[in-house]
Amino acid sequence: MKILICPLNWGLGHAVRCVPLIRRLINEGNDIVIASDGYPLALLQQEFPSLSTVEIPSYHIRYSSGKSQTFAMLRNMPRIVGGVVREHRWLKQYLKTSDIDMVISDNRFGLWSKQAKSVYITHQLMIKMPRGLKWLEPIAWRFHRMFISRYSACWIPDTSGDDNLSGDLAHKYPLPKNAKFIGILSRFQGLENIAPNPDFTTICVLSGVEPQRSIFEEDLIERFRDSPAHQRLLFAGNRKPKNKPRKSTQ
């Protein structure tokens, strides 16, 4: 099949977890086209330089510099709704000029279609609300299900049992009829032969939307400043070239 894979540009996590999925689909003989923008598109182009890529409109979300993001998300709602409408229109036009058999959307609400099988990937079926707004969680869950129901299938990158990673996000409420767990996705699969480093006592993995990602990074650097450098490892997700690591994270 010819498959269009579209990770959300909201940090790098959505793009990174598509890596093992893309590898598997390629090994199965499928023709893959990647659609995204910004750093996620650049990362996947670096990971799969031989694959065709296309730029797709983004939501252009930006968090506030404060701890609470409630009002920031409310301010961003028009952008999110506009982004969903734009990407749905984009897909409708794109499918008219391509022979795509399947569309795989990682957390992009608007990439469903009746012209091709459409799959939605998410581990966040429910949306956690801050204290004081917990009563909105069932409403947000039903709102999310409305989008999920538009897709042919919903893939949850986690396990169904107690030994899972998503917790309440995928396990608190009943699953949609088109949803199934597909196992944990990690691009580090197949690296079992790498010898572990027993010196590390703390490993931090960062991703997300600015400025919160950078704020959290600086906070972690400050917290671990007095600990031995060889005991801490920070995957900053700062999108800087591999040969130019930040001195403050060493």
CA distance between the termini of the chain: 44
Task: Read off the pLDDT of residues 191-231 as tens digits, 9 standing for 90 and up.
Answer: 666 677 777 888 888 877 777 788 888 888 888 888 777 78
Per-residue pLDDT at 244 exceeds 70: no
Is 215 among the domain residues? yes
The answer to whether residues 45 and 106 belong to one domain is yes
The answer to whether residues 81 and 11 belong to one domain is yes
In this structure, the strands spanning 102-106 and 52-55 are unpaired
> CA-CA distance, 140 to 109, in Å (whole number)?
14
Looking at the chain, the whole-number percentage of residues with pLDDT higher than 70 is 84
The answer to whether residues 114 and 6 belong to one domain is yes
Which has the closest alpha carbon to 235: 205, 212, 196?
205
Task: Read off the pLDDT of residues 139-180 as tens digits, 9 standing for 90 and up.
Answer: 989 989 999 999 999 999 999 988 999 999 999 999 999 999
The answer to whether residues 113 and 177 belong to one domain is yes
More confident residue, 188 or 154: 154
> CA-CA distance, 30 to 193, in Å (whole number)?
28
> CA-CA distance, 202 to 232, in Å (whole number)?
5
**Number of domains composing the chain:** 2
Question: What domain range includes position 243?
Answer: 202-249
> CA-CA distance, 195 to 219, in Å (whole number)?
30
pTM (2 d.p.)? 0.81
